[in-house]
Structure 1
Amino acid sequence: MKSLEEQLKIIKRGTLDIINEEELVKKLEKSIAENKPLKIKLGLDPSAPDIHLGHTVVLRKLKQLQDLGHEIIIIIGDFTGKIGDPTGKSRMRKALTDEEVLQNAKTYEEQVFKILDEEKTTIKFNSEWLSKLTFEQVLKLTASTTVARMLEREDFRLRYENQRPIYLNEFFYPLMQAFDSTAIDADIEFGGTDQRFNLLSGRNLQKEIGKEPQVVIMMPLIEGLDGKNKMSKSLGNYIGIYESAKSKYQKVMEIPDELIVKYYELLTDVSEAKIEEVKNKLQDQSINPRDIKMDLAKEIVSLYHTEEEVAQAEERFKMIFQMGQKPKDMETVTVNKDNFDLISTVVDKGLVSSKSEFRRLLIQGGVKVNDVKIEKESELPKEGELVVQVGKKRFIKIIVS
């Protein structure tokens, strides 16, 4: 194992908060002295089938601890997923069916191993212990916290103040996530800053039942392509793990310049020295930010794709966006003219996140069909072969037959 100082340096890089560092030092000292790995927990609720780069901020940190010799335990919340994490929600989430949970969980398993070492990672499903709790045990679990503490959560507090319903099963979510920590005797739990309440619930429950409390380490949330909101599939501002190299490269090139350094810090393996160099170049404006973004795109895409795929993605970007050519490999779809709606097709294929976004771009002159700028919805063609360009970078060919 590496020394305490080396491990702390690796663990602390990019983290936003550690609760608390003194306990972390003691755990690491004991781990080194006994040559025994720490149990590192990450809980994932399979509420959606895809993992995006926002999720990888925590997963990449786990990989660093895995490389330090510690045990990574991923808890797939197949049981908690039936309620859904109420964090940040203004109303109760729609419950998932058993089939949806299992299907999403299987996809999650496949995707986390794009980053983590499968042979050194333990995957557990929390139904293994939560489904076996008796009603008496559940009552004891609820006695570990108070309604007042639950209402300290911002989302619950706001709903309470605005007289929006909070259902009792939603109160159970942080308790069940906390029970996961006791079930595996977690030494450290990771999560995003939006998970603070849930993470601390695990720490508090461990204390309550006389176990050594886990250290909580929170990673920053990363903004999506819009530069404002947390990366999210529902907002359409995400870069998916399973997307092609060309798509990833193109999307990285779309991020605002202000996010360049943050993306280097949280989504790549480049050295701190290089990040400092990037900061200086951006500050003194000695280089075009576009050129830095091209290097950033290359760094990110190379983590998930082959050298050949990276080179093809870069070449495609240069051809389309620097030389003004249309992509030869644009997606082509064939639709029936009887029920064809161009806006719906463009939204369904992911060129824009919603019909309202498309209409906004239309008004702003950001839509072309067969090289002709379209500014009114009534002018959108309804037949033929249509090469639709949305903004500068998104293309699709629609064959209406």
Structure 2
Amino acid sequence: MSNPQEEAAELSKGAEHIVPDGELERRLAEGRPLRVKFGVDPTARDITLGWAVALRKLRAFQDLGHTAVLIVGDFTARIGDPSGRSETRGQLSVEVVRANAEGCVAQLLQILSPDKLEVRYNSEWLEPLDVGGILRLTSHYTVAQMLERDDFSKRFSGGHPISITEFLYPLLQAYDSVAVEADLELGGTDQLFNFLVARDLQRAFGQRPQIAMTMPLLVGLDGVNKMSQSLGNYVGIEEIPEEMFGKLMSLPDSRVATYARLASDLDQDRVAELEAASARGGPPAGLAKRTMARAVVALYHGTEAAKHAEGAFDRQFVRHEAPADIPEAQVPAGSIRDGRVHLPGALVALGMASSRSDARRLIKGGGVRLDGRQVTDEEVDVSRVMGATLQVGKRRFVRISPVESLGSFD
């Protein structure tokens, strides 16, 4: 696309903020690839549909010949981004951050092209900073400026603590832009303050200030809060098609158009049709939700996988049949004693609960079934379990095959 005005208009589609106005077109007119920065703090392993909103925009820049500069915040993740938070975030260990970073980068390549991609870890320039370097950074910003940020302002007014470390976070993120000489930084709307700090810091270091471009935040499956792994209201881009489709079908009708607009490749006319159908409620809203869910699953897994996922959803939730391809597993011998199965231990061993307390909570809440019948006791007869289909929640199934040896409870 050789016309800077047309290219700027294309790249600006869907953006919430572009600061300063008109600067994107001016830089595109220079006829060189822009360095477009996108930062990821690996505080968790999964890439969600929420992250994918900005990542897909980054891919659009790549497709037009620009360089995606991916900043993996292996240093800043140890602090944790306080954006939008009402309390101080706990710090992560180096080992946890490193493991998360490895998983994140691999998933990002599902969206980004390996061509025109530069991956940098911000520990490269932040770890060498000594006390003098940190003090030089802090000299460029005041406490009053930091308190202009909405979340800091609310916490300060409410008497909630703000650590000095959290004040440092926007400056360290801004220094990333200095280190890679970013032309433009891309992210969610909650990052606008940090992006503007980066403009000020680049100017202080004698660089041309970057353009700040933000994309809308995707609300999570609860329909209320920002999509977040910590809140459990997310869809990961690497989730299996059936899981992804099932989660999307749990979305409130009022959010279907938003997901169609931000998380799929559906055109705006189709999105408008889905929005109108969702507003009518009833069967039209249900069909709109299915269309959206198919489109999102197809984007990451292909059309055939999306059709298969919809069929699996119908078998399980419309016709109330068990899935066609249930995996088989044996109850661990250590969960059996005196002809009875200790379900909390078995659920943990089978990967269907994160801990025994989690398993007990699931049983108490009616979330565990054997052959479709709710289980209320923590111990059940072996004869009831062997050969039965064990179900946890709505989408986790395993068919229990016999075991040869019996052990004792752990």
TM-score when scaled to structure 2?
0.84
Q: After superposition, where does 1:2-401 map in structure 2 within 5 Å?
A: 2-30=2-30, 35-283=31-279, 288-330=284-326, 334-335=331-332, 336-337=334-335, 340-341=343-344, 345=348, 349=352, 358=362, 362=366, 368-373=369-374, 379=377, 382-384=380-382, 385=385, 387=389, 393-397=394-398
Task: Evaluate the alpha carbon distance shift between residue 128 and residue 282 of structure 1 in structure 2; reply closer, same or farther with a 3 A threshold.
Answer: same
Q: CA RMSD in A?
A: 3.1
- In structure 1, give the amino acid aligned to 2:344: D
Tell me the CA shift for residue 158 of structure 1. Answer: 3.7
- Check conservation: 1:387, 1:395, Cα contact below 8 A: no
Deviation string 1:338-359 (CA, Å, 9 cap, x unpaired) is 66428975997379xx789858
Task: Evaluate the alpha carbon distance shift between residue 358 and residue 60 of structure 1 in structure 2; reply closer, same or farther with a 3 A threshold.
Answer: same
- Check conservation: 2:62, 2:68, Cα contact below 8 A: yes
Q: 71-80 or 313-322: which moved more?
A: 313-322
Task: Evaluate the alpha carbon distance shift between residue 25 and residue 383 of structure 1 in structure 2; reply closer, same or farther with a 3 A threshold.
Answer: farther
- Check conservation: 1:2, 1:68, Cα contact below 8 A: no
Deviation string 1:179-199 (CA, Å, 9 cap, x unpaired) is 011111111111112222222
Task: Evaluate the alpha carbon distance shift between residue 280 and residue 163 of structure 1 in structure 2; reply closer, same or farther with a 3 A threshold.
Answer: closer
State the alpha-carbon separation in 1 of the partners of residues 3 and 304 from structure 2: 38
Deviation string 1:354-397 (CA, Å, 9 cap, x unpaired) is 789858964xxx775533356xx6x5654542645566x43434
Aligned to 1:42, the other structure's residue is in SS state strand
- In structure 2, give the amino acid aligned to 1:4: P
- Check conservation: 2:347, 2:353, Cα contact below 8 A: no
State the alpha-carbon separation in 2 of the partners of residues 355 and 27 from structure 1: 56
Q: 331-340 or 184-193: which moved more?
A: 331-340
Runs of 4+ in 1 over 6 A off after TM superposition: 354-357
Deviation string 1:18-50 (CA, Å, 9 cap, x unpaired) is 2222222322222xxxx2011111111111111
State the alpha-carbon separation in 1 of the partners of residues 396 and 240 from structure 2: 15
- In structure 2, give the amino acid aligned to 1:78: D
- In structure 1, give the amino acid aligned to 2:335: K
Deviation string 1:250-298 (CA, Å, 9 cap, x unpaired) is 1111111111111111111122222233234445669622222222222
Structure 1 stretches lacking a partner, 5+ long: none
Task: Evaluate the alpha carbon distance shift between residue 289 and residue 355 of structure 1 in structure 2; reply closer, same or farther with a 3 A threshold.
Answer: farther
Task: Evaluate the alpha carbon distance shift between residue 360 and residue 237 of structure 1 in structure 2; reply closer, same or farther with a 3 A threshold.
Answer: farther
- Check conservation: 1:332, 1:396, Cα contact below 8 A: no
- In structure 1, give the amino acid aligned to 2:216: P
- In structure 2, give the amino acid aligned to 1:156: F
State the alpha-carbon separation in 2 of the partners of residues 8 and 227 from structure 1: 32
Tell me the CA shift for residue 130 of structure 1. Answer: 1.5
- In structure 1, give the amino acid aligned to 2:264: T
Aligned to 2:219, the other structure's residue is in SS state coil
State the alpha-carbon separation in 2 of the partners of residues 330 and 139 from structure 1: 59
- Check conservation: 2:278, 2:286, Cα contact below 8 A: no
- In structure 2, give the amino acid aligned to 1:371: G
- Check conservation: 1:337, 1:382, Cα contact below 8 A: no
State the alpha-carbon separation in 2 of the partners of residues 343 and 8 from structure 1: 57
Tell me the CA shift for residue 121 of structure 1. Answer: 1.0
